[in-house]
Structure 1
């Protein structure tokens, strides 16, 4: 998989931390804030979210 841009990382962390704060199960064992849990999931490549990349349209 290609490296994520800082905008994709921010989008994934925001969406996943919102899910965790509203009661979704964390996929890692970290007892901390929702944002830190989401970051740890992303580091370990366990985050259930992935960015949607659209091809550039020339014309």
Structure 2
């Protein structure tokens, strides 16, 4: 699933907060900033978070 720019921003913030609070990092990296690490995880598709979108459909 491709994320919108708004979903990326939300996931980035949530994941960076998790990392800053001591969550395990899912990739090997030499970065030290939690935002940089989280962005790299997003780019590699290794973020342990899910985005739940509302169902949009036609109701009769």
The Cα offsets for residues 12-42 of structure 1, whole Å up to 9 and x where unpaired, read as 0000000000100111122320000000001
In structure 1, distance between residues paired with 2:56 and 2:37? 33
Residue 12 (structure 1) aligns with: 11
In structure 2, distance between residues paired with 1:9 and 1:57? 24
SS of aligned partner of 2:41: helix
Which runs of at least 4 in structure 1 moved beyond 2 Å after TM superposition?
56-59
**Aligned residue pair count:** 58
Residue 51 (structure 2) aligns with: 51
Task: Name stretches of at least 5 consecutive residues in structure 1 with no aligned partner.
Answer: none
What is the RMSD computed on CA atoms of the aligned residues? 1.3
Task: Name stretches of at least 5 consecutive residues in structure 2 with no aligned partner.
Answer: none
Residue 37 (structure 2) aligns with: 37
In structure 2, distance between residues paired with 1:39 and 1:25? 15
Q: Which has the larger radius of gyration?
A: 2
